Amino acid sequence: MANKVLVFLEQRNGSIKKSSLEAVKVGKDFADKLSCDVEAFVIGAEISDLEKVGSYGVSKVTHLKNSELAMYSSTAYLKLAIKHVQDSGADILLFPNTSLGKDLAPRVAAKLDCGIAMDCIAFNFGDDIIATRPVYAGKALIDVKVNSTVKIFTLRPNVFNAGEPSGDSANVEINEISDPDLSTKVVEIKKSEGKLDVAEADIIVSGGRGLKGAENFNLIEELAEALGAAVGASRAVVDAGWRPHGEQVGQTGKTVTPTLYVAIGISGAIQHLAGMRSSKYIVAINKDKDAPIFSIADYGIAGDAFEVVPKLIEEIKKLKAE
Partner 1 sequence: MKIAVCVSHVPDTAAKISIGSDGKSIDPNGVTFVLNPYDEFAIEEALKIKDAQGGEVVAISVGTDANKETLRKALAMGVDSAVLLKEDKDRDSIGIAKALAEEIKAQEAKLVFFGKQSVDFDNSITGQVTAELLDYNCVTVVVGLQIDGEKVTAEREIEGGREIVETSLPLVITAQKGLNEPRYASLKGIMQAKKKTIEEKTPAPYENMIELVAMKRPPAKQPGKILGEDSSAVPELVKLLREEAKVI
Sites for partner 1 among residues 267-296 (CB under 8 A)? 269-271, 274, 277-278, 280-283, 289, 294-296
Touching partner 1, residues 2-61 (CB under 8 A): none
Q: Which is nearer to partner 1, 174 or 320 (CB)?
A: 320
174 belongs to the binding site for partner 1 (CB under 8 A): no
Least separation, in Å, of the C-beta of 186 and partner 1? 4
Q: Which is nearer to partner 1, 65 or 111 (CB)?
A: 111
Tell me which residue of 25, 18, 15, 85 sits closest to 50, measured CA to CA. 15
In the DSSP assignment, the letter for residue 55 is G
Q: Which is nearer to partner 1, 30 or 294 (CB)?
A: 294
Least separation, in Å, of the C-beta of 126 and partner 1? 11
Residue 81: which H helix or E strand, with range?
helix 74-88
145 belongs to the binding site for partner 1 (CB under 8 A): yes
Least separation, in Å, of the C-beta of 96 and partner 1? 11
How many CA atoms within 13 Å lie on the side-chain side of 90?
24
83 belongs to the binding site for partner 1 (CB under 8 A): no
Q: Which is nearer to partner 1, 88 or 278 (CB)?
A: 278
**CA-CA-CA-CA torsion for 60, 66, 68, 73, nearest 10 degrees?**
-40
- Mask of contacts with partner 1, 96-125, x by CB under 8 A? --xxx-xx--xx-xxx-xxxxxxx------
Residue 7 phi/psi, 5° resolution? -105, 125
Q: Which is nearer to partner 1, 214 or 270 (CB)?
A: 270
Touching partner 1, residues 202-221 (CB under 8 A): 203
Q: Which is nearer to partner 1, 45 or 260 (CB)?
A: 260
Among 139, 174, 218, 288, binds partner 1 (CB under 8 A): 139
CA-CA distance, 121 to 118, in Å (whole number)? 9
Q: Which residues contact 9 (CB under 8 A, 6 or more apart)?
A: 16, 17, 20, 23, 24, 40, 41, 42, 53, 61
Q: Crossing angle of helices 218-227/305-321, nearest 10°?
A: 20
Candidate ranges 48-56, 160-168, 207-215, 252-260; the one touching partner 1 (CB under 8 A): 252-260
Number of residues that bind partner 1 (CB under 8 A): 97
Question: At CB < 8 A and 24+ separation, what contacts does 85-88 make?
Answer: 85/6, 85/112, 85/150, 88/4, 88/6, 88/39, 88/41, 88/62
Among 36, 70, 162, 302, binds partner 1 (CB under 8 A): 302
Q: Which residues contact 197 (CB under 8 A, 6 or more apart)?
A: 230, 246
Among 45, 70, 144, 159, binds partner 1 (CB under 8 A): 144
Angle at 31 between CA 30 and CA 36, to 5 degrees: 140
Q: Which is nearer to partner 1, 77 or 170 (CB)?
A: 77
For residue 222, which amino acid is it? E
